[in-house]
């Protein structure tokens, strides 16, 4: 295999986001394969930063296996720092797995002297439609990269050429445990063995629909007192655009049935829980619930599945492919549904309507009553739930395990794929601007 000089950049490796987790694993893999790997960490909001190693609160240290950290120069923002280090290191490949604010620097003729590299960039589809801010992610990189089959379908619907490589899960860490081990873990985390435990993991953001999840929990506790809901996140995210969960739980009169992680009060974007501890948190749960309004690839969902914990999630964006194994043919089929759908690897909850968010995308409003019914159904069907969880674990190992995903990356880096000339022609067509500004309520072809 020919080795290359690679510059990766995106969320800093010590940030607790899923994107940072993917970058850690991918960059370490590429360094182990013999590539000369550099990494520019940009924290969670675009400010460059350098770190030497990652030490978790419980003492576990994650080695970066020869990944060289870029120092912090005078550049205050991502696009300036990325351009600077591209000129300094002259990479063969630049790989970005991060948000949309990382693409403006890539106007090569304006930003840098070194331009003979291939640019691979993550295209996040966490909404129902294509919106104009994603144009640079699609048409500037040589290889636009979809992490979901859902996102790939949207791009295909517009005629845009992309590659599909999903995020990965380390199934050597995230795996099912026998019932005896589960009981040990429940004792360790002080979870009563006779309680049904719903779990949710993720950043406390408005789009996670945590408010509607708490309302669903308030309906559940009217019918049963032996269920708990554990939030593994910062409980008060109101300062950062999230929810004040304790306040909402008290308002919904279900606060006696809500748990928060011990370290959650100190959790920020820059704090971590080690993979082993996070796996334990999944392994003690009975069902994983995340009724998100939209997600490009929500890693906690597949981590939970890898641990044998089935999903209960919104029938939107990547929810159907995590529960069914394939992307939805038409998301509108799930709008206004009268009941939940029990699929092979999880339970899908329909949405009542869609709403626009500030960037022009479309998010789903999950049906609260059906969500509560789905959660109760899971609790009352223990045998079916266990079977579903084991199937989900095998599905994740096969579809999202490191062996398969890293093989896709190795194949891509060994290729000479360059879609930019093809995709650029799409923008040159007279109708292209209308194509990319199509009314979101008329985009069924994008996901069919």
Q: How far is CA 62 from CA 19, 33, 58, 101, in A?
A: 16, 18, 12, 28
Dihedral sign of CA atoms 416, 141, 35, 412 in order: negative
Residues 179 and 389: their CA atoms lie apart, in Å, by 13
Query: Binning pLDDT at 50, 70 and 90, where does residue 237 land?
Result: confident
Which of 232, 300, 303 shows the shortest CA–CA distance to 262?
232
Same fold, 5-169+403-447 and 179-399: yes
Looking at per-residue pLDDT, the higher value among 13 and 402 belongs to: 402
pLDDT at 16 over 60: yes
Averaged pLDDT for residues 316-327: 89
Where do the structural domains in the chain lie, given as residue ranges? 5-169+403-447, 179-399
Q: Where does the pLDDT of residue 397 fall: very low under 50, low under 70, confident under 90, or very high at 90 and above?
A: very high
Pick the CATH number of 179-399 from 3.40.50.2000, 3.40.50.720, 3.30.2020.30, 3.30.1370.140: 3.40.50.2000
CB 309 within 8 A of CB 389: yes
Confidence of residue 354 (pLDDT cuts 50, 70, 90): confident
| Model confidence at 137: pLDDT above 50 | yes
Q: Confidence band (pLDDT; 50, 70, 90) for 50?
A: low
Spatial distance between the Cα atoms of 445 and 403, rounded to a whole number of angstroms: 33
Per CATH, domain 5-169+403-447 is 3.90.940.20: no
Q: Mean pLDDT over residues 377-400, rounded?
A: 96
Q: Is the pLDDT of residue 441 over 90?
A: no
Per-residue tokens: 397: 């190992």
Task: Look at 445 and 192; give whichever has higher pLDDT.
Answer: 192
268 phi, psi to nearest 5 deg? -135, -175
CA distance linking residue 57 with residue 271, whole number of Å = 8
Model confidence band, residue 424 (pLDDT cutoffs 50, 70, 90): confident
Euclidean distance between CA atoms 327 and 340, whole angstroms: 17
Q: Comparing C-alpha atoms, which of 252, 274, 248 is closest to residue 263? A: 274
At 375, the pLDDT band (50, 70, 90 cuts) reads very high
């Amino acid at each position: 295999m020919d080795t290359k000089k690679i510059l990766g950049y995106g969320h800093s490796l010590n940030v607790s986001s899923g994107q940072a987790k993917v970058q850690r694993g991918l960059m370490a893999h590429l360094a182990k394969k013999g590539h000369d790997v550099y990494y520019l960490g940009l924290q969670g909001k675009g400010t460059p930063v350098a770190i030497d190693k990652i030490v978790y609160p419980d003492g576990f240290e994650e080695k970066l296996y020869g990944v060289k950290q870029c120092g912090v120069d005078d550049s205050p923002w991502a696009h300036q720092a990325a351009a600077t280090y591209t000129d300094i290191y002259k990479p063969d490949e630049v790989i970005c797995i991060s948000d949309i604010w990382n693409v403006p620097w890539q106007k090569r003729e304006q930003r840098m002297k070194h331009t003979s590299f291939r640019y691979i960039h993550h295209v996040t589809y966490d909404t129902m439609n294509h919106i104009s801010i994603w144009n640079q992610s699609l048409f500037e990189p040589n290889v636009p990269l979809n992490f979901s089959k859902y996102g790939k379908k949207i791009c295909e619907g517009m005629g845009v050429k992309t590659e599909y490589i999903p995020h990965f899960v380390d199934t050597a860490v995230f795996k099912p445990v026998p019932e005896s081990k589960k009981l040990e873990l429940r004792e360790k985390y002080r979870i009563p063995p006779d309680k049904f435990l719903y779990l949710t993991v993720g950043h406390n953001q408005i789009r996670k629909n945590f408010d509607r999840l708490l309302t669903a929990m308030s309906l559940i506790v009217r019918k049963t007192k032996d269920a708990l809901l554990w939030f593994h996140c910062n409980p008060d995210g109101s300062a950062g655009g999230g929810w004040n969960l304790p306040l909402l739980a008290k308002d919904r009169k279900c606060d006696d049935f809500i748990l928060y992680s011990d370290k959650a009060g100190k959790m920020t974007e820059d704090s971590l829980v080690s993979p082993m501890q996070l796996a334990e948190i999944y392994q003690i749960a009975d069902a994983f619930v995340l009724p998100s309004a939209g997600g490009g690839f929500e890693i906690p969902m597949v981590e939970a599945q890898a641990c044998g914990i089935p999903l209960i999630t919104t029938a939107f964006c990547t929810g159907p492919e995590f529960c069914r194994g394939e992307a939805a043919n038409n998301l509108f089929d799930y709008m206004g549904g009268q009941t939940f759908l029990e699929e092979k690897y999880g339970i899908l909850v329909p949405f009542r309507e869609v709403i626009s968010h500030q960037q022009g995308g479309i998010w789903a409003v999950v049906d609260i009553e059906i969500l509560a019914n789905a959660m109760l159904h899971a609790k009352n069907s223990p045998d079916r739930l266990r079977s579903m969880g084991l199937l989900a674990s095998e599905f994740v190992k096969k579809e999202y395990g490191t062996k398969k995903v890293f093989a896709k990356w190795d194949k891509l880096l060994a290729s000479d794929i360059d879609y930019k000339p093809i995709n650029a022609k799409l923008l040159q067509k007279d109708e292209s601007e209308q194509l990319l500004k199509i009314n979101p309520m008329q985009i069924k072809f994008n996901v069919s």
